[in-house]
Structure 1
Amino acid sequence: MRLPALSAALLLVCVAALLGLRTAGGHGSNDATGFVAPVAMDLPNYLRPAADPAFGTSIIRITKPGALGNGVVCGPKYCSHRYSSAQAWNADQTLLLLDNGCNGMCFLDGHTYEALFWRKRGGECEWHPRSAELMICVQDRAVSTWAPRTNHEDVLFTSPDYHDLQFGPSKGNPSRDGSRIAVRAVRKDGADVVFAFDLNQRSKFPDIDLSQVPGTASSCTISPLGTHILCFQNLLDGTEQRAIFTVDGTLSQRWTDHHRPGHGDLTIDADGSEVYVGISKSNPDKFQVIKRRLSDGKATSLTAYGQAEHASARAIAKGDWVFLSYGGDPDEVSANPGWAPYAREVIALRIDGSGAVRRIVQTRNPPSDYWSETHASPSPDGSQVIWSSNWGVPGGPVYEFVSRLDWSEYKNPKEVVSNDQP
């Protein structure tokens, strides 16, 4: 059993923090307004928590190349969660899924990170946000729910009128209550369509023909409230646009400016509006983190120009916070005081415009390839964050880490305020 050792190690982390380590990520605030130079740290041992010397936050390495136990095997190059906007933990955080570079869908204990079991299956599956034992899966001609522990599957929809069903692909999520998803499909007449599907009623909404908007749809997802479908459209000139439909098929918004935003996630703003939060690649807010309202396209900038790479709103219990993975060169960031002062860090940013920031961890992750990108993604309650790093060795093994967060001192959003807003 590793649990006693894990608890003891976590106690040492807390003691170290009390002895003087800065604790913006774990408990309080260090200089949230300025650049913090990289602090050297040895690679943590597998399943042995350590403290980030920059911020005092716990760091637990949860993978290593080779066998992890119970048939779970990590590849030599990388072994990680799927993506920043995909939920890695199930609803009650008892299970944690790794499905990049593992020998199938690999399930770990959601708190101790011990390897539990693995499954082989096709298609795309995402955790049900309320039913902890279930995943929602889309494959070939079927939509189903699937229980990984028991391997039981319940088919909710199948039809000879559609084939090549996809959950997104890659960037699909269910609605907040788990009742609806967006399904990409090829209709029997050859049309590329998307439709909303109600899992509770086991019924589909009308087809939305994607040829009505320019470009090729790369992915579609339902909105958090299940009222809209957001599709990503790639044009021949390299422009990446957005199309927003109501679930009955009405085209309500087209965002024709390139990637404004992208690499992001959907959440619900304080006023109840559904927003897409991500990184803009167009003026007037190029390379700023912005939120954009689905109802009318209004964009609000949340940070200064910076090196943010991915945004995740998977901490649905902390819906007013987005978790950001920053890359960049620390030397370049430090030389530009007008930029957002984060390089190779994971932070949490409050999206209400206050500039409240939690600096979580330095990733020590120089750029290499896609699989080594940090892709930080929080647990449903925001108490854990999973992220990837090559730990200073470009081209070397990419490990998976978890940092744990204490939100007890963050009841007031004004406690940690950054000046990096535009």
Structure 2
Amino acid sequence: MMLGTLAQRGLPGGGTPAWVPDDAIAFLDFVNEQYFSGGAERAVSTLLGGGFDPAAISASGMRIIGSNGNEPEVIGTFFSELAAAVTSGGTVVVDFQSTNHPGGFLMFIADGINLDVADEAILAYAGGGIEDYWDMDLFDVTVTGASRHKEAFTLARDVGGGDFEYAWSHDGRTAVTQTVDYVSHALPVDTILIGHDGVGTGNTLNDIYIRSITLYPAQLPAVLPALTSLVEELEISGTPITTTVEDEAYAGFTVSATGGTAPYAFSVFSGSLPTGISLNSSTGAVSGTPTTPGTSTGIVIRVTDDDGTTDDLASFDLEVTEALTPLISDTATYTPAADPRPAYQVPYTDPNFETTITRITGDAGTQIGSFVGTTWGTFPRHQYMKHCSWNADDSLIFIRENTGGTNAIILLEGQAPYDVVDVTSYPSGWQDARWHNVDPNLLIFVTTTAIKAFDVTDHSVATKHDYSGVYSDMSLGLGEGELSWDSDIVPIQATRTSDGKKVCFAYQISTDSILRTIVINGDPSGEPVIATDGGVGISPQGTYLCLSRDDGTMRFYSIATGALVNTFTEDEKPSHFSFAMDGSVEVVVGGDRSSGGGGHVIKRRMDNGASTVLNPNSFTYHTSGSSHAINTLWFATDYYPDSGSPYVDEIVVVGMDGSVVGRVCHVHKGDMTGNSDTNYWNEIHVGIARSGKQVIFKSSWDESDASPLSVFVCNFQDRSVGSLG
């Protein structure tokens, strides 16, 4: 790397910023407004004073012209360093853009305050050259043209025998030198001016933008052309994508080059790219479709410029993994196998769809994992389908209820074999909880009067806000309760103490404040209680407070203004829904159970109510859109055994464009015609992992509605799912 290159690199020793050129003593970068002197970053006002005008600095550099009055004087540590260079040697490099033929003083170094009173001085000229009042007289008058220039001059380099060398170079040209038998007669240095002589006698730079000034220890003349070269060092860059899948288009990356002399040619210098992937020698694009699994190691891509100079990208490996088998996506009718309920934690392969199902709750009355004194219940239950059962990083599963057994917070591993990792009592006052969508250690829960957070790592409880005396009967949105996807906004349904009215409100954790409150009964219209079986949720981006009414309709209130933005007036259009993102649009996804709705799977925009049929006549019952990492997919399941749909008794992956992406597994629902209480328990309530490659459901596995339930996870991480891979 050439001395003085400004490429970003690791911090040199001593904490010097990466943007300071190698070996520089001081560096004033006016273009980027970064200044280094005295071993530290500094404000420019501590380095330049006198008639200096900071307003003269722009992205083009520091402008000096007679009419703008910018007359900088060097001060502070920069003065000390330049004065030392006059005495002990140093090299100054000035990078500037001239709008005219260069003229005027680049630098005035003297024993007096200006040109009129100084007895001795060193003068560096933008037009090319350096001189003093004695014998030193170095001129190179080839600096011409309204363009960018770099000029370097070396002061008093000790060459031995009482002699000192001065040198001058510009724009990469060979340096001219002169040796004199004195250090300098301008000692002690009193004043150093940049771009003028202090008296305005015609030596002010004639409209020049100084881009940077760099001070080095005294350099050999042979080094100066590199310091003043306008050709930057050749450098290659690019970030390889190091994994891909067999027979799928490689995501690819592009290497690029800067500096050197164009045009550039790119090549694979060592190693080899996987079969099917190639490098474009002109554009640097690495692309293709790999055809063979395996790992290609030690790949080095090289750039060669027009002068034959080269630079290499750091060596990397590229792994091609074996292609995953896609989920079945046809519309044939598959009959569930008449196999018995799988044993606890024993993987079972769905014979139709070849996906792996694991029962993650034990037989009623048996011990829960290794936790002595605990028992599995008759009706264990995971989170409802619209509330993710997996934590933020898919490392844990939350079993929220265990009716008939030890009712407690039960946490399982989020991946096979789904061992139980914790059983702990609910905190005092616990009503309901949701995983925090960002922090994998937190469950957000409510009591009847407070909003709290439970840390699963140490069982500590943090109160976010206690509303005792202000609200009572608080719940997490009653039957809904979706947090915003960043989990900063929490939906609360409660009774207001001051007037006894039922209200819902959006509470923001980060500001510890209520953003919006909506009265849901006793409002001016005289409406009765309208949300005793529905509830309230927060839209994914925190835009809306979404109220589900008892009559099956929905209202969307702006959290910012409180305005009623939209109303879904139809009964249950959609029903048993989840919130999701369709690109940047917030939508509700579920089954259309309205009059004439036909059980279609639909998505519906929150902002204007526009409805799109995704999967006609599928008679879905529950949908899960809780995989926040996936904005284009959601999961659905068919509830009705006599719907005529090919997807009866299945969990099906459906794309946001309406395509059936994959059929996941049969769920073996039991008899749904008996007791209405147990009928509800027998609903499978499918939920999706945040990875999009696991689903959770509960089932009596083809037994009667009074039979014990088990919770199952279907893992299809070894199968491809549309754009998820």
TM-score by length of 1: 0.84
Q: Which residue of 2 aligns with 1:100?
A: 401
Q: Which residue of 1 aligns with 2:513?
A: 203
Q: 1:31 to 1:221 in 2, by over 3 A?
A: closer
Q: Which residue of 1 aligns with 2:335?
A: 37
Q: Distance in 2 between matches of 1:307 and 1:91?
A: 31
CA contact 2:671–2:702 (8 Å) conserved in 1 = no
Q: Which residue of 2 aligns with 1:266?
A: 579
2:375 matched to 1:73? yes
Q: Which residue of 2 aligns with 1:11?
A: none
Displacement, 1:266? 0.1
Q: RMSD between aligned alpha carbons?
A: 2.0
Q: Which residue of 2 aligns with 1:242?
A: 554
Alignment of 1:28-177 (within 5 A): 28-30=326-328, 32-64=330-362, 65=364, 66-69=366-369, 70-71=371-372, 72-75=374-377, 77-101=378-402, 102-111=406-415, 112-121=417-426, 122-159=430-467, 160-177=469-486
Q: Distance in 1 between matches of 2:570 and 2:481?
A: 22
Find the residue that maps to 2:629 and give its secondary structure. Answer: helix
Amino acid at match of 1:205: L
Q: 1:99 to 1:73 in 2, by over 3 A?
A: farther
Amino acid at match of 1:99: R
Q: Distance in 2 between matches of 1:202 and 1:412?
A: 39
Q: Distance in 1 between matches of 2:327 and 2:388?
A: 27
2:536 matched to 1:226? no
Runs of 5+ unmatched residues, structure 2: 1-323, 673-678
Q: How many residues align?
A: 375
Q: Greater relative contact order (Cα 8 A, min sep 6): structure 1 or 2?
A: 1
Q: Distance in 2 between matches of 1:74 and 1:346?
A: 26
Q: Which residue of 1 aligns with 2:717?
A: 406
Deviates more, 1:139-148 or 1:29-38: 29-38
Displacement, 1:284? 4.7
Q: Distance in 2 between matches of 1:206 and 1:78?
A: 37
Q: Which residue of 2 aligns with 1:320?
A: 632
Q: Distance in 2 between matches of 1:256 and 1:411?
A: 34
Find the residue that maps to 2:381 and give its secondary structure. Answer: coil
Identity %: 26
* Post-superposition CA distance 1:173-195 (Å, at most 9, x none): 21111111111121121111111
Displacement, 1:411? 4.8
2:254 matched to 1:254? no
Find the residue that maps to 1:79 and give its secondary structure. Answer: strand
Q: Which residue of 1 aligns with 2:614?
A: 302
Q: 1:412 to 1:185 in 2, by over 3 A?
A: closer
CA contact 1:310–1:325 (8 Å) conserved in 2 = yes
Q: Distance in 1 between matches of 2:720 and 2:418?
A: 26
CA contact 2:568–2:609 (8 Å) conserved in 1 = yes
Find the residue that maps to 1:205 and give its secondary structure. Answer: strand
Q: Distance in 1 between matches of 2:513 and 2:329?
A: 52
CA contact 1:181–1:226 (8 Å) conserved in 2 = no
Displacement, 1:408? 6.6
Asked which structure has the greater CA Rg, the reply is 2
Amino acid at match of 1:157: H
Q: 1:297 to 1:31 in 2, by over 3 A?
A: closer
Amino acid at match of 1:47: Q
Amino acid at match of 1:186: T
Q: Which residue of 1 aligns with 2:662?
A: 358
Find the residue that maps to 1:370 and give its secondary structure. Answer: helix
* Post-superposition CA distance 1:177-228 (Å, at most 9, x none): 1111111121121111111111111111132112347451131000000110
Q: Distance in 2 between matches of 1:31 and 1:311?
A: 18
Q: Distance in 2 between matches of 1:385 and 1:30?
A: 16
Alignment of 1:374-413 (within 5 A): 374-394=684-704, 395-406=706-717, 409-412=720-723
Find the residue that maps to 2:623 and give its secondary structure. Answer: strand
TM-score by length of 2: 0.50
* Post-superposition CA distance 1:116-170 (Å, at most 9, x none): 2223322211000010100111211111211133111111112332222210113
Q: Which residue of 2 aligns with 1:348?
A: 653
Q: Distance in 1 between matches of 2:723 and 2:640?
A: 30
Find the residue that maps to 1:80 and give its secondary structure. Answer: strand
2:527 matched to 1:216? no
Displacement, 1:366? 2.8
Higher normalized strand content (fraction of residues): 2
Q: Distance in 2 between matches of 1:405 and 1:97?
A: 20
